[in-house]
Amino acid sequence: MTILCVRFQLPTVYEAALPGLLGLLEEFTPVVEALPPDGALADLRGAERYFGRGAVELASVIRVRALALHGVDCMIGAGPGPMLARMALRDARPGVTCMVPDDAVADFLADRPVAALPGVGKATARTLCEYGLDTLGRVAAAPLSTLQRLVGTRAGRELHEKASGVDRGRVVPNAVSRSLATERPFSRDELDEDRHRRALLSAAEELGARLRAVDKVCGTLTLTVRYADRSATTRSRTLKEPTAHSAALTRAAYDMYEALGLQRARVRSIALRAEGLDPAEQASHQLTFDPADEKLRRIEEVADRARAKFGPYAVMPGALAA
Amino acid sequence: MPGFTHLHAVSGFSLRYGASHPERLAERASERSMDALALTDRDTLAGTVRFAKACAKAGVRPLFGVELAVEEPAPEPVRQERRRAPVRGGAFIDESTPRVTFLARDGARGWADLCRMVTAAHAGEGSPLLPWADNRGDGLTVLLGPASDVGRALAAGRPDRAARLLAPWRETYGDALRLEAVWHGRKGTGPGSLRLAARTVGFAAEQRIRPVLSNAVRYADPGLGPVADVLDAARRLVPVDATKELDSGEAWLKDAGTMLGAAERIVEAAGFRRDTAHRLLEQTQATAAECLVDPEDDLGIGTVHFPEPHLVGAGRRTAQRALASRAAAGMVLKGYTRSPEAVLYWERMHRELDIIAHHGFASYFLTVAQVVDDVREMGIRVAARGSGAGSLVNHLLGIAHADPVEHGLLMERFLSKRRLVLPDIDIDVESARRLEVYRAIIGRFGTERVATVAMPETYRVRHAIRDVGAALSMDPADIDRIAKSFPHIRARDARAALEELPELKALAGEKNRYGRLWELVEALDALPRGVAMHPCGVLLSDASLLSRTPVMPTSGEGFPMSQFDKEDVEDLGLLKLDVLGVRMQSAMAHAVVEVERATGDRIDLDAVPPGDPATYQLIRSTETLGCFQIESPGQRDLVGRLQPATFHDLVVDISLFRPGPVAADMVRPFIEARHGRAPIRYPHPDLEEPLRDTYGVVVFHEQIIDIVDIMTGCGRDEADRVRRGLSDPESQGRIRFWFAQHAAANGYDAETIRRTWEIVEAFGSYGFCKAHAVAFAVPTYQSAWLKAHHPAAFYAGLLTHDPGMYPKRLLLADARRRGVPILPLDVNRSAVAHRIELVSESVDSSRRWGLRLALSDVHGISEAEAARIADGRPYASLLDFWERARPSRPLAQRLAQVGALDAFGANRRDLQLHLTELHRGARGAGGGQLPLAGGRKTAPAGLPDLSSAERLSAELGVLSMDASRNLMDDHRAFLDELGVLSARRLREVRHGETVLVAGAKAATQTPPIRSGKRVIFTTLDDGTGLVDLAFFDDSHDACAHTVFHSWLLLVRGVVQRRGPRSLSVVGAAAWNLAELVELRAEGGLDEVAKRLAEPVPEGAGDSTGGRRIQMPTGYELHPWADLRPAGQEPSQVRKLWHQSPGSAG
């Protein structure tokens, strides 16, 4: 059993190209899981026998096709499970596929830092390093009970298994892009509330337009404010109803921003991320007797069409035009 | 055309507001032909004295005032919009309080009113605000400008409200009230707009209040607007926002013609005829003319006020009589009446008392004696320093320790009938208890007579870069890097330093990336950016102190602090007593306490036997790390050459190690003569007496005084005056003539006079006051005695109070070398401070003492935590420790990392895990089950223990010391591969050999030296001893950056020997050893070879083009010498060269 982890080298914010590339992978195997914004997992279980080629050879074929058809280069890691394939990807370069053989899993993992393990975030890695468990070999050697005391019962067990090379993950076909993000950087430390709001408005408008373009609605909106000292504040809000309506997104973004109460913080960028994307046709919408909402949505629809025809700047909110 | 006087002008003393120094304002006023100028700084009068002096120099009449934030008489209930607390970055600085300008009008009364109001404004919490109740003063003129409540109402278009707000002002100040119109060419109706200025003038006419015109001056010259923007940004802690309203650039000291133009525009806009402008200017001039405060008479420059005699133990007697009787009592007490030279002492005492009576300084002596008595009573070590030690009366009163008659110290150097300046007695106390001393002084004399002295903190290059960088929205990481790469130089030298300093080469390359940064940094030069309490000055006065100086509380301790700094205070004739906190005194006190606690022996340091051979042997061995005054590399070298054997030798040694004597090369002839390699010469047999002790070389001021006195017969007081004149080249010529004439009259031949004059001329201004040196040498001897006889206690004292120039880890290395066992931190044994502990006792009852490390050295421990841990000892188990000592979790983790909890079993990482769980349990998350094995020991959890390198790294991180072993030991194998010589083996190397040395940097200096070159001196510690290195300027291009910015160094150099004990290495190339160690570990020796093979930048030699600073004493100084060097101080280093992801902490 071999899993491939593919990362396409897409130009930034070009998620729209991903579905096409996933289609390319689906020519080899039906079991493809999208890893937005630019990656995918593919299970080659049947493909190897069907095509009569090894995983590394298939990887080369995939790369050639991606370049020929889409003009997009890619890096590929291969391993016996999704986790190992992802880890192998870190060592891969375009043209050099990194493969973890079934029998060398322990050696492959032993000297790797704990942070390299998928699912081990900064906090867990810091905790483990504090206790001298800085490599996966050491984590595997530590008693299970101690690991569970360190990071919790369930996480401890999973960590122990993963570090020992037991990869229980499966490739789950989904073919859905799960989040969209956009960022508005400032050229200098920006304290002005109006300009912050303008950035939020423009980001929310963009996210809405992009969501509507791929017929998706988002359930959660995340605001990230980055400061001059490279730190950041992140706030998330689950929307009352999943939506792609720009006005609703903007409202949610403003609410989160106001809750921060920023005064003297030196803001260098504001980023919005739409998460929990679902197909638009599955979304429910609470109807109201207020005609304003209905009107707004229809105006938005018209504006979208105008933008499609005359470019993204053809129609925009007045606050952004100045 | 009528003249014009600026009634509202601020200087740089208005913190982060004014952009020009008061001197500059005075100069400009004079250049722009103004007769008078007011200084009205924000919330402070600190610039007053400098301004008054500058005005006197520029020929401008000074007006004094202040701009204060004033509480509203009846604060209206404003709808307070409650703002959410920001999650990041903090709230805006609130500057919404109205501000009003007050001018002192009525002489001393006006000045006293100003002082009182400034003091009242600072009395409250938070930013200075004048309570309405204190807003009164008969001697003041008040200007209500655009920033006042009245001005704001006008700006808001509410003349009705303005009239209402005006009423309380008019009631309080009546005719002394003025309305101030300001036009800065702004638009709209806000401050600085033409419309507001016109409304103000119109409103004044309507209300029958006299208007005045001002320019609300913030800087002296046009074009300084951007600097004002940066200051605004630094004050409000926000970046400059070019899209918002910036400084108008108009607030400069405009001349009369321009102001007339402004007045014309304003009156026209107000609807008056154009020639009314003259009336406006006349009103302004008239207001200025009313403000009559004379710097001499009214500020009290030049008069002295001592505390009232009854407060200093004189009772109903006069101070002079009380002093005389106390001195006589001292004679008896100290046993001088029974000595064979009793007459000598009596005579001297009476002579000194005469001089004191002549000046009327008796209360001063009694005051100092009172303070010293109080301090001694509190059990605090106290010693006089400075020229005051030359007075027998001081000695008899118990102020000075050393007997001036025995040591040949002269009263005239301190005080004489011809000396007009205030005498200056400095006292040294234990630094750790300095604030207690202050409290005692305040308690004795009361807050109305005592105040500490301010010390303005001014912008130097690093702070200027930080503030300007933040204002310009630069990346904080960039700002930090740029600021740290500069040595501690003046801000105005920033660009010159970039051009010339080799260690800034890399930065100079990217200089253009930062736009206006450099220009603005230089513009901030020397502007005050904050004010702190001066570390030693205390003002003592009679009860009128508060009407002569504005006082504010210090942050933290809340001591009353005068806003004037050290020089101002002297000019104002306020009596200042310097109470210096000396860490060495604290360290010695701690050592004595430790010896008594551990052994029961009571050591009286002031009575240690003089001439102790073991002590002098220690000093001669140059292992004087930690000894007062003789621990620096230069001093160790000098001590090695001088080989002191008596107390007098120590006095000479300390006197010789001064920039003057070193520059004048008095050291070499002295040492030659001392070791009999050169004959002792006197210019004349009459001069043998004063010069005998120093082998014919002039070392002390006292000797010059004696020489001049003997040759001319002018008396010692006149001779001291002559000596002072020597440093001034102008008067030197006159003195020379006078000297030759009088000496010839006394029968000396021309040749003798010529040779004597050469000596006097060359050394006169350089020598050192012997009284100072004697006062210094006492603690020097005492500390060396402690080091020789109670080493463990001595190190305990040093480490606890951290005196001296070296990082603590170096003292620890020294202790290890001298055979003092270092006992690790242990919660069951360590106390708050460093302690001594019995390690072994042998048969002949000679006991070996070890040094137990202190809890207070743990990074981030609070005093309360340390005390709680120490009080709760002993602890039976980890749980016991956790429950009773209640350490914070990070602290407990740190203690575990350095092995302080090793006694509880399990390895250090397991302990950390247990601690984390205890912490979780304490928060009530359940998990109260503690895996204990046998109740006492903690059960192992199977985590890997800290490796040896990790332990060392933890020690450095937590204690800033490598406690278990020297950190260089780990690299021994690599250093042997390179063929590096250890410090111990270096002693056997011959002069002129090329060697490799390595070690951790202990201290780096670029002192001023005789050749006028910049030499980098640095000291390396490699575990076996110290290596002193010197880098001359031909090697700076190659080495300077590496030396300043690396902590571990590998250096190639040539051995220099100047005596049996004098050895240094002249560096030719330097590498960052940490980098090499890493290369060795990763890539083997070949990688190291590759790094060593990299070309070294060619030395261009002197990059200053021969520029030198001429010192007033005559010798030349390299422009970049004598600075705190770039990079981080070695004592601040808390990290090993590299931290692996697995390292602790």
Report phi then psi at B683, rounded to 5: -65, -30
Nearest chain B residue to A267 by CA distance is B89
pLDDT, average across residues B220-237: 92
- Answer whether CATH 3.30.70.270 is correct for domain A1-100: yes
Chain B residues touching chain A at CB-CB below 8 Å: 83-93, 237-239, 241, 243-244, 472-473, 475-477, 893, 909, 912-913, 917, 941-946, 950, 1140-1142, 1144
Edge-first strand listing for the sheet containing A3-8:
A32-35, A39-43, A3-8, A74-79, A98-99
CATH architecture of B967-1132: Beta Barrel (2.40)
Give CA–CA dist A307/A77, Å, rounded.
40
The verdict on A138 touching B (C-beta cutoff 8 Å) is: yes
> What does the DSSP assignment read for B193-222?
BHHHHHHHHHHHHHHT-EEEEE--B-BSST
Confidence check: pLDDT of B1112 > 50: no
Q: How far apart are the first and last CA of chain B?
A: 74
Whole-angstrom CA distances from B546 to A241, B70, B101, B621 are: 69, 20, 21, 54
Chain B hits for A156, Cβ within 8 Å: none
Q: What is the pLDDT of residue A236?
A: 92
CA distance B749 to B743: 8
Tell if the CB–CB gap between B944 and A231 is shorter than 8 Å: no
The mean pLDDT value for B362-380 works out to 90
**Please, which residues bridge with residue A269 across strands?**
A185, A226
- CA nearest B5: which of B166, B170, B152, B178? B178
What is the per-residue pLDDT for B308? 83
Instruction: Output the pLDDT for position B990.
Output: 87
In angstroms, the CA B1109 to CA B501 distance is 16
Contact B161, B109 (CB under 8 A): no
Number of helices followed by number of strands (H, E) in chain A? 13, 9
CA gap B1031, B503 in Å, rounded:
13
Residue B933 pLDDT: 45
On the question of a common fold for A1-100 and A179-321, the answer reads no
Q: Are strands A74-79 and B210-214 parallel, antiparallel or unpaired?
A: unpaired
Interchain proximity B1142–A134, CB inside 8 Å: yes
Instruction: Decide which of 1.10.150.20, 2.40.10.120, 1.10.4160.10, 3.40.50.1370 is the CATH code for A103-169.
Output: 1.10.150.20
- What sign results for the dihedral spanned by CA atoms B998, B1002, B1006, B1009? negative
Residue A149 has its nearest CB partner, among B85, B917, B950, at: B917
Contacts with B942 from chain A: Cβ below 8 Å: 142-143, 146
B943 and A133: CB-CB below 8 Å? yes
Among the partner residues A129, A145, A228, nearest to B1142 by beta-carbon distance = A129
Q: A189 to chain B: which residues are within 8 Å by CB?
A: 239, 473
**CB contacts, 8 Å: B86 with chain A:** 260-265
DSSP B804: S
Query: B783 near B627, Cβ under 8 Å?
Result: yes
**Quick one: DSSP state of residue B1096?**
P
Q: How many CB atoms lie within 10 A of CB B980?
A: 23
Query: B532: which 2 tokens?
Result: 């702190």
Contacts of A135 in chain B (CB under 8 A): 1142
Q: Which CATH architecture has domain B22-70+92-290?
A: Alpha-Beta Barrel (3.20)
Look at A293-297, B729-733, B780-784 and tell me which has the smallest mean pLDDT: B729-733
Residues from chain A that touch B93, judged by Cβ atoms under 8 A, are 264
Q: Between B521 and B82, where is the model more confident?
A: B521
Query: Does the beta-carbon distance from B86 to A265 stay under 8 Å?
Result: yes
Q: Is the separation of the CB atoms in B589 and B381 below 8 Å?
A: yes
Find, in chain B, the residue whose alpha carbon is nearest to that of A188: B473
Quick check: A191 and B239 CB within 8 A? yes
Share of chain A above pLDDT 70, in %: 95
User: Can you tell me the ipTM of this complex?
Assistant: 0.74
- Please judge whether B88 and A149 are an interchain contact, meaning their C-beta atoms are less than 8 angstroms apart: no
Query: In terms of CATH architecture, what is A179-321?
Result: 2-Layer Sandwich (3.30)
Separation of alpha carbons B686 and B27, rounded Å: 53
pLDDT higher than 60, residue B1015: yes
Task: Supply the angle between the helices B342-359 and B362-377 in degrees, to the nearest 10.
Answer: 120
What is the pLDDT, as a whole number, of residue B535?
Answer: 83
**What is the distance between the alpha carbons of residues A202 and A185, in angstroms, rounded to a whole number?**
12
pLDDT of residue B1145: 28
Task: Give A194-252 pLDDT, tens digit per residue.
Answer: 999 999 999 999 899 888 888 889 999 999 999 998 888 999 999 999 999 999 999 99
* Residue B1143 confidence (pLDDT): 31
Helix (H, G, I), strand (E, B) or coil at B769: coil
Triad B802, B864, B553: Cα angle to 5°: 75
Check residue B539 and report its DSSP letter: E
List Cβ<8 Å contacts ≥24 apart for A151-160.
Answer: A151/A124, A151/A127, A155/A124, A158/A119, A159/A117, A159/A120, A159/A124
Give the model confidence (pLDDT) of B268-320 as tens digits. 999 999 889 999 999 999 999 999 888 877 776 556 778 888 888 777 888 88
User: Residues B651-671: pLDDT tens digits?
Assistant: 988 888 876 666 666 778 888
Residues of chain A contacting residue B945, judged by C-beta atoms under 8 Å apart: 132
Q: Which sequence spans correspond to the domains of chain B?
A: 22-70+92-290, 309-456+533-583, 460-526, 587-781, 805-959, 967-1132
Residue A231's Cβ-count burial label (10 Å; 0-12, 13-18, 19+) is: exposed
Give CA–CA dist B987/B1065, Å, rounded: 11
Residue keyed to tokens 């509880």: B904
User: A131, B476: Cβ pair inside 8 Å?
Assistant: no
CB contact under 8 Å between A131 and B473, yes or no, is no
pLDDT value for B302: 59
By the CB < 8 Å criterion, does A131 face chain B?
yes
| C-beta of residue B1014 within 8 angstroms of C-beta of residue B1006 | yes
Query: What is the strand order of the sheet B835-841 is part of?
Result: B822-823, B847-852, B835-841
Q: Which residue has the tokens 């008595």?
A: B373
In the chain, the amino acid numbered B180 is E
If you measure CA to CA, which chain B residue comes closest to A115?
B1141
Whether the CB of A147 is below 8 Å from some CB of chain B: the reply is no
From the list A132, A228, A258, the residue facing B943 with the nearest CB is A132
- List of chain B residues whose C-beta atoms are within 8 Å of the C-beta of residue A265: 86-90
Put simply, the answer to whether A133 touches B239 (Cβ < 8 Å) is: no
| Across A133-142, B130-139, B618-627, least confident range | A133-142
Q: Where are the domains of chain A?
A: 1-100, 103-169, 179-321
Cα(B766)–Cα(B1114) distance, integer angstroms: 10
Which residue from B minimizes the CA distance to A258?
A: B84
Q: Is the peptide bond before B729 cis (omega within 30 degrees of 0)?
A: no
Q: CA separation (Å) from B250 to B37, B183, B247?
A: 18, 9, 8
A130 shares contact with chain B (CB less than 8 Å): yes
Residue B840 to residues B666, B797, B821, B846, Cα–Cα distance (Å): 48, 21, 10, 9
Asked if B912's CB is within 8 angstroms of A189's CB, the reply is no
pLDDT greater than 90 at residue B918: no
User: Could you tell me which CATH number the domain at B460-526 has?
Assistant: 1.10.10
Main-chain dihedrals φ then ψ at residue B531, nearest 5 degrees: -135, 135
Cα–Cα dist A297/A243, whole Å: 11
Cβ–Cβ of B87/A260 closer than 8 Å?
yes
Close Cβ partners of B669 (under 8 Å, ≥ 6 residues apart): B678, B697
- Cβ neighbours of A138 in B, within 8 Å: 944
Extract the tokens encoding B75: 């604060």
Q: What is the average pLDDT score of chain B?
A: 85
Q: Do A259 and B84 touch (CB under 8 A)?
A: yes
The alpha carbon of residue A122 is apart from the nearest alpha carbon of chain B, in Å, by: 12
Query: How far is A134 from A115, CA to CA, in rounded Å?
Result: 8
- Contact state of B944 with A191 under an 8 Å Cβ cutoff: no
Cβ separation of B942 and A262 shorter than 8 Å? no
Q: Please give the span between the terminal C-alpha atoms of chain A, in angstroms, as a whole number.
A: 58
Residues near A132 by Cβ (< 8 Å), separated by ≥ 6?
A: A138, B909, B943, B944, B945, B946, B950, B1142, B1144
The whole-angstrom separation of Cα B451 and Cα B441 is 10
- Is the pLDDT score of B765 beyond 70? no
Task: State the helix-helix crossing angle for B225-236 and B461-471, rounded to 10 degrees.
Answer: 90
Contact B461, B488 (CB under 8 A): yes
pLDDT, tens digit (0-9, with 9 covering 90-100), for B455-494? 989 999 999 999 999 999 998 999 999 998 888 888 888 8
Domain B805-959 has CATH 1.10.150: yes
Residue A175 has pLDDT above 80, yes or no: no
Nearest CA in chain A to B239: A189
A11 close contact with B: CB closer than 8 A = no
Give the lowest-confidence range in A176-180, B345-349, B379-383.
A176-180
Residue B1120's φ and ψ, nearest 5 degrees, are -110, 15
Contact state of A263 with B86 under an 8 Å Cβ cutoff: yes
Peptide bond into B874 cis (omega under 30): yes
A142 touching chain B per CB within 8 A: yes
Residue linked to tokens 């906090």 = A123
Residue indicated by tokens 């008396």: B715
B858: helix, strand or coil: coil
Question: Quick check: A228 and B475 CB within 8 A?
Answer: yes
Residues on chain B touching A259 (C-beta within 8 angstroms): 84
Report the C-alpha gap between B811 and B1003 in whole angstroms.
12
